[in-house]
Chain A
Amino acid sequence: MNPSELGLPLSAAPVPVERASLTLLLRDAETGAAVGFEPVRLDDLADHMAETWRESCLRQHHPELSLSELSFNVRPLLKTDHGPACHGFLLEPSPPAPTSLSVPFTAHSLRAVATRAAERFIGCGQLKRGQLYSYEVQFRPEPERPAGSAPVLSDTASPPLEFDTCDRSPTLNWLEVPRRSLLARATAFPAGNAEAFQVFFVSSAFARAEHFARKGGSTTPPVETGAVLLGALCSCPESGDFFVVVTDAHEVLGAEQKAFSLNYTDQSWLRIQALLGARQAVTPALRLVGQAHGHNFLPGNGQTCAACPALPVCDLTNVYASEDDQLWTKATFAGAPCALCFIFGLSARGDRVHGLFTPHDARLRQRGYYVLPDFHPESWPCRSACRTPVSA
């Protein structure tokens, strides 16, 4: 039986990510009429590649492999064997990488591309602002590529500046820590994707993160405040899995704090980098692993439903990763092995609620975490990969 008859996605032959030939088709959500095509550019897949690196290398006994050393293949997951429509696609490191674990991505992972396309179509009058649209991922190798969707192999937005560069990015440092030694002492707070890489918070770091994130809730009017999260990347010598331990949280000072936004200024970054440098001089494995911030406003203006007094839990909360949080995380942690986004928020009736989000399917999604009573990075062996600078 044909796999398509079983409802299973058909995996097309792998193609290099530089020639992924993925295109989005935007349609009017009401009529289904085609609005136009938008090519998926190589830089649209940067987060996908970083996630594939994490899942197929860092979490599979190979923390020594750097992202810049890898090449990737794309396998479109076709809906049928006679059309270009895809459920999504798989991304996998290509040989000679010692691992070829495929990581699946859905059409949702390309939402930013659809948003860009919609803006373009609004600009040229093919779509009205506010008009609902849907999009479909299509695999269109060269011969059947539709007009107006020529492949874009690199970032065409870059100005054609001519200068030479040499990649001097530092190698990844990690601690070798048997994970079970931590799990035996940890308290689990499960949520969302159980397969996500594990994140441990030292209890004092968690308390500091919450304190700084909720600090803005005591001002009038409440504003967003937050902390950066410092921690160590760890590799388990037994399972080969990779995980993160958050060891400290530091208040973001000098930031522009508003009711619905938190903007790190250059002064904020100056302080963070000075702090990080000082900490890394003592413990090289420490790095910036994420941030926490407070959504210190009442969702729905604090309007609760009639049944609220009888409900044990109010499920109208503001614990979600906003579009701004998504964009900030993509920009700040591009190509980083992990990016934690911890949000401390409120329910409509003022209960304190919180959630951890990390990139999965190339977007921030809620997941669980563990809390540890303590963790001493200097007690564990620190490893580092060897790397040769790459010129371009």
Chain B
Amino acid sequence: MKALTPSPVKPAALAGSRRGMLHFEARDVTGTHVIEARNVQPATPAGAVATALASRMALPPNVPWMMRNDSTGAVLEEEKPIGDQLQAGAKVVLSPKAHLG
């Protein structure tokens, strides 16, 4: 939604990733939201990146999110740097840590 993407547009930055930075594609479990993330600091904990991605997809902030590498099926460890767990160009899926009752 326009209203939920407050960051300014940076077309130049989107043209390519800066050296040493990570780029990958993220989507939610239903495939409704897909975003390409670029220039992510590899040292950032994966959990913090998941939260930020969920916010940019306008997913509910009151739910914790986990990230899964789509090609390996591995769930990313929240506390570990995302750069240690993902290759550039990877695809990840954000899943809510919630259950039906």
Contacts and interface: CB of A to CB of B under 8 A. Distances in A.
A154 B4 contact: yes
A46 B36 contact: no
Q: Which of A116, A261, A288, A331 has the most CB of B within 10 A?
A: A331
Contacts, number: 189
Interface string A266-289: 110110110010000000000110
Nearest to B10: A164
A43 B60 contact: yes
Contact of A42 (B3, B11, B33): B3
Nearest to A324: B101
Interface stretch (A129-137, A166-174, A196-204): A166-174
Interface stretch (A67-75, A102-110, A241-249): A67-75
Interface in B57-96: 57-63, 66, 68, 70, 73, 75, 93, 95-96
A273 B61 contact: no
A293 B101 CA distance: 9
A153 B5 CA distance: 11
Contacts of B61: 43, 155, 157-158
A123 B66 CA distance: 27
Interface stretch (A22-30, A54-62, A333-341, A345-353): A333-341
Interface in A152-194: 153-155, 157-159, 161-170
B14 A391 contact: yes
Contacts of B7: 165, 392
Interface in B1-47: 1-11, 13-14, 21, 25, 28-41, 44
A205 interface: no
Given A49-B3, A167-B35, A331 B56 contact: no
Given A158-B51, A287-B31, A164 B39 contact: yes
**Range, interface on chain A:** 35 or more
B14 A164 contact: yes
Nearest to A226: B100
A260 interface: yes
Contacts of A256: 99
Contacts of A226: 100
B58 A165 contact: no
Nearest to B74: A266
Given A164-B13, A261-B99, A392-B9, A158 B55 contact: yes
A16 B4 CA distance: 13
A262 B100 contact: yes
Contact of B1 (A46, A162, A261): A46
A273 B96 CA distance: 15
Contact of B36 (A68, A168, A336): A168
Given A18-B3, A116-B62, A155 B33 contact: no
Contact of B2 (A68, A153, A293, A324): A68
Given A261-B101, A325-B101, A333-B32, 16 more contacts: A43-B61, A46-B4, A158-B55, A263-B100, A269-B93, A323-B101, A324-B101, A327-B63, A327-B98, A331-B59, A332-B29, A332-B96, A334-B57, A334-B60, A335-B58, A391-B11
8 contacts: A49-B3, A70-B2, A155-B61, A163-B41, A260-B101, A264-B100, A288-B31, A392-B56
Interface of A: 16-18, 42-43, 46, 49, 67-72, 112, 116, 153-155, 157-159, 161-170, 224, 226, 256, 260-264, 266-267, 269-270, 272-273, 276, 287-288, 291, 293, 322-325, 327-328, 330-336, 390-392
Interface of B: 1-11, 13-14, 21, 25, 28-41, 44, 48-49, 51-53, 55-63, 66, 68, 70, 73, 75, 93, 95-96, 98-101
* Closest A-B pairs by Cβ, 3 of them: A324-B101, A331-B96, A263-B99
